[in-house]
Amino acid sequence: MELIQQLVNGISLGSIYALIALGYTMVYGIVKLINFAHGDVFMVGSFVGFYSITVLHLPFLVSLILSMAACAVFGVLIERIAYKPLRNATRIAALITAIGVSLLIEYGFIYVRGAQPEAYPGDVLPEHAIQIFGAKINSQSLLILGVSVALMIILQFIVHKTKIGKAMRAVSFDAEAARLMGINVDRTISATFAIGSALAGAAGVVFGVYYIKIEPLMGVIPGLKAFVAAVLGGIGIIPGAMVGGLLLGVIESLVSAFGYSLWRDGAAFIVLILILIFLPSGLFGKYKREKV
């Protein structure tokens, strides 16, 4: 019974990692950039959701959509201001810029509002104990899982069935060929940042509802873990990010269940080291040589 509860908790946590990891993997798949500011977009989304619920008194679903919209705009601004001028720069220049943008967002946010943490209200979503195979499962876990899965399904529809999704896949495969075929590459990259950032914003709200406490540096560890999830699944591969996030959440929950809760953060990075040693292209990736 305890195992079932931990698995549900792990899948709920993993779905949050998966939502953040999708942003990493989409951006990498198109511009080959590890956007380390992505975890801070997740933090901004969490605070937008918090203020929507506590100040504007909006319901959960409306706050979720508002947070996604705000983060989509924020993601496009980051891309246009910080990354677009470096489109043809070296990888290391773009990587250092991403780290700089991350620190700027974190400490700029602290300068504007202070470093004090906030707490989401406990009654944002109805909370009931649901009996499944004799185990008591929190209804919030199932609702959060449902929201995350719905967003992942919508993303798959966008990528595979819409015009912008086809453009994203074309740019990911060969940006120059896509440009010659009349695809607006800059607009496609901005759309990718918008969609990835919107998913991070949704993850921020879901995280706040589930874990209550939020603070300006909260994006650092979940952001790094989501990066691990993206690498685990095969960075640049959307289904890989989903599976990697879910697997990482389950691993963390099982580590806690076996009494090693102090090691749960370390477990993610042990997984990263093992993946890089034994399966560097990830679970869904294909090995290929790459010039750096």
CA–CA distance, 78 with 93 (Å, rounded to integer): 15
The verdict on residue 252 lying in a domain is no
Asked if 207 contacts 199 with a C-beta cutoff of 8 angstroms, the reply is: no
pLDDT at 222: 93
Q: Is 268 exposed, middle or buried (0-12, 13-18, 19+ CB in 10 A)?
A: buried
pLDDT at 236: 84
pLDDT at 289: 56
pLDDT at 288: 58
pLDDT at 126: 76
Q: What is the DSSP letter of 82?
A: I
| Strand, helix or coil for residue 241 | helix
pLDDT at 88: 83
The verdict on residue 142 lying in a domain is yes
The verdict on residue 237 lying in a domain is no
The pLDDT tens digits of the residues spanning 238-277 come to: 889 999 999 999 999 989 888 888 888 888 889 889 988 9
| Strand, helix or coil for residue 99 | helix
pLDDT at 243: 92
pLDDT at 128: 76
The verdict on residue 152 lying in a domain is yes
CA–CA distance, 46 with 44 (Å, rounded to integer): 5
Task: Give me the phi and psi of 57, to 5 degrees please.
Answer: 55, 40
Asked if 241 contacts 22 with a C-beta cutoff of 8 angstroms, the reply is: yes
The verdict on residue 66 lying in a domain is yes
pLDDT at 8: 82
pLDDT at 1: 65
Residue ranges in the chain whose pLDDT is less than 70 = 1, 133-135, 286-292
The verdict on residue 273 lying in a domain is no
pLDDT at 12: 87
Kindly report the number of other CB atoms within 10 A of residue 17's CB atom.
Answer: 31
Task: Give the number of domains in the chain.
Answer: 1
The verdict on residue 224 lying in a domain is no
The verdict on residue 250 lying in a domain is no
pLDDT at 134: 67
Q: What domain range is 194 assigned to? A: 2-118+133-218
